Amino acid sequence: MKKYRVGVVGIGAVGAEMIRVLRQRDFPCEEIRVLARKERDEVVDGETFHVVPATPEAFQGLNFAFFAGTEGAKGASQQLGWQAVEKGVIVIDNGDDFRMDSRVPLVIPEVNAPALAKHMGFISNPNCSTIIALMALAPLYRVARIRRFIASTYQAVSGTGRNAILELEQQVKNYVAGKPLEHMAYPHQIAFNVIPKIGGLKSDAGGHTSEEVKMRNETRKIFEDKKIRVCATCVRVPVINGHSEALNIEFDRPMDPAEARDIFSRAPGVVVFDAIERDEYPMPINVSGQDNVFVGRIRADESVKNGLSLFVCGDNIRKGAATNAVQIAEKLIEKG
C-alpha cells in the first residue's frame, strides 16, 4: 500500500484529535509532521511529536496538510495554505477562511463527495455545526427537497478550544469551593449558564452571528441550493464535548417519522437513537468520542405544512472537524 507524508498544522484540541484519528483509522502515513508557531515536543496518546515552526518550507515533501484551525493556527491557511498547494500538497482546511471561495470545495464525504472532483489542491471542512446538521438533513433532502429548516444549537465548549474546557472545569471547581467564578474565554460565566452568541455579530446579517450565517451559507453551497431557507440560533452550553441541535424542517412534500427513520437507517454515518418511551435519545454523552451522528426525537412538526422535527448530536471535534478532514483525504486516495 502506498504511504503518504502528512502534515498537521496546529496542535490544539483539533490538531491532537487529527493525529488520534489518523492513527485510529490506520491512515497510510509514512510520516506525520506537526507544524505550529513554536518548536517544541508534544505528546499525543503516548506518542511524541517534534513540532516544527509553520513556514512555507516546512511543507516540502508532504502529500497532505491538515490545517487544524486551533492554537493560533486559525487563519494559518490564509497565510500558508496556497503556498503549500504550490509545493504539491493537498490542503484540507478546518478553518473558515476559504469555505465560501469558489475555487474550494466544501465537503462532507457522506453528503457531497463528488465535489472533490473539482478541487484545485485546496479543500475545506464545513463548520462543525453545519456538518452535524447536514449529516441528518442530507439523506432526507435526497428524497424530498427541504424548503426551510430552523436550527437551534447547543454547542459544547470544546468548540472554542482547550482554554474554554479548562475554564469550564475551573468554574465548576470554584463554584463547589465557594470561590469567585472568573471568565476569559467567554464574555460571561459558562458554568451553569448558556450563552446565546457564538461568533461575532455580522453587520450585514440582520442580527445574526457569524456562526449562524455559516450554517446558512455553507448549507446552500454544499446542497448547491441557493433557495433553501435557514434560520439558526447558536448557543454555547456548559458541556465539555459534543454538539446538539434541534432541527425543525419543512419539506416540499409530506415526510412522516416512519419514512424518515427508514431513510436514516440506511444513511452512512448516522445512528437512529429514537425510543423516547425508554428514555433513548441523542445526548452529548452518547456521541463524545464517536464518529457517527446520532438522530432521535423524530416527530411531526405540526406548526408548518410538511414539517418534521429532529434532535441531533455529534462529536464536534471528531466528525465536526478531525474525522471529517481525514475522511476527505481517504476519499481522495480511494478515487486515485
SS3 of 286-336: HHCCCCCEEEEEEEECCCCCCEEEEEEEECCCHHHHHHHHHHHHHHHHHHC
pLDDT at 72 over 70: no
What sign does the dihedral 245-250-252-258 (CA atoms) show?
positive
209 close to 200: Cβ distance less than 8 angstroms: yes
In this structure, are 135 and 260 located in the same domain? yes
Q: Nearest-CA neighbor of 15 among 59, 55, 66?
A: 66
| CATH number of domain containing 149 | 3.30.360.10
In this structure, are 165 and 95 located in the same domain? no
In this structure, are 324 and 252 located in the same domain? no
In this structure, are 260 and 327 located in the same domain? no
Distances (CA, A) of 248 to 123, 147, 302: 30, 11, 10
What value does the mean pLDDT of the chain take? 96
In this structure, are 192 and 134 located in the same domain? yes
In this structure, are 103 and 86 located in the same domain? yes
Mean pLDDT, residues 119-145: 97
What sign does the dihedral 152-74-293-227 (CA atoms) show?
positive
| CATH number of domain containing 83 | 3.40.50.720
In this structure, are 143 and 30 located in the same domain? no
In this structure, are 296 and 205 located in the same domain? yes
Phi and psi at residue 7, in whole multiples of 5°? -110, 145
pLDDT in the model for residue 198: 96
Listing DSSP states for 130-196 in one string gives HHHHHHHHHHHHTTS-EEEEEEEEEE-GGGT-HHHHHHHHHHHHHHHHT-----SSSSS--TT--BS
In this structure, are 158 and 116 located in the same domain? no
User: 70 pLDDT band (50/70/90 cuts)?
Assistant: low
How many domains are contained in the chain?
2
Mean pLDDT, residues 187-196: 98
pLDDT at 71 over 70: no
Higher pLDDT, residue 222 or 73: 222
pLDDT in the model for residue 74: 57
In this structure, are 286 and 185 located in the same domain? yes
Instruction: State which residues form the domain around 207.
Output: 130-316
The contacts of residue 84 (CB under 8 Å, 6+ apart) are 7, 56, 59, 62, 65, 91
In this structure, are 146 and 282 located in the same domain? yes
How far, in whole angstroms, is CA 64 from its chain's centroid?
Answer: 19
- Check residue 200 and report its DSSP letter: P
**Residue positions annotated with a catalytic role:** 128, 243
pLDDT in the model for residue 205: 81
In this structure, are 280 and 251 located in the same domain? yes
Mean pLDDT, residues 223-236: 98
C-alpha cell at 60: 516540502
pLDDT at 308 over 90: yes
pLDDT in the model for residue 203: 77
pLDDT at 328 over 60: yes
